[in-house]
Amino acid sequence: MNPFACLLHSIRMRRGIRQTELAELIGYEQTYISALEVGKKGPPTPEFVEKLIRALDFSAEEREQLWNAAEASKRKLVIDSDMPQDIFWMLKELRDRVSDLTPAEIQMIRQILKFKESFSEEYAEPVYRLKRRKKEGVQM
């Protein structure tokens, strides 16, 4: 299941709300709620998310989780046409293998992506300045 499907189901269970009750609260069909929860539908529209937030009076943290889960559940990736050729080949290889990746391989790829973030933060190159030589140390 996609992240949004899991989160929606989890929220509904924690709050003790049936699919039919949620559907009535936000003005959608129960079948749509069900399709979202089992992952048959892609991520919901921003309108759906906003209605859900208003109806269930989410905290700021819950709102952020919901938006992140909706973003993570997108099924398509659009890349800029001016990206380097290597990016296109890498994404093709990933598309070809994504359904066969093991949990360990998925974790390794995610760690590599996080590595760049942590590397750039922790190992920012220090700014070096040239020291001025004293007049007496300069040979002429």
The one-letter code for the residue type at 32 is Y
Residue pLDDT tens, the chain, 140 long: 899 999 999 999 999 999 999 999 999 999 999 999 998 988 899 999 999 999 999 999 999 999 999 999 998 888 999 999 999 999 999 999 999 999 999 999 999 888 876 665 555 555 555 556 566 655 65
Which pLDDT score, from 0 to 100, does residue 120 have? Answer: 59
pLDDT at 75: 87
Please give the model's pTM, rounded to 2 decimal places. Answer: 0.70
Answer positive or negative: Cα dihedral of 102, 41, 13, 56: positive
* Residue 138: predicted pLDDT: 54
DSSP label at residue 83 = S
Measured at the CA of 114, the angle between CA 109 and CA 117, to 5 degrees, comes to 145
Q: What is the pLDDT of residue 125?
A: 56
pLDDT for res 10: 94
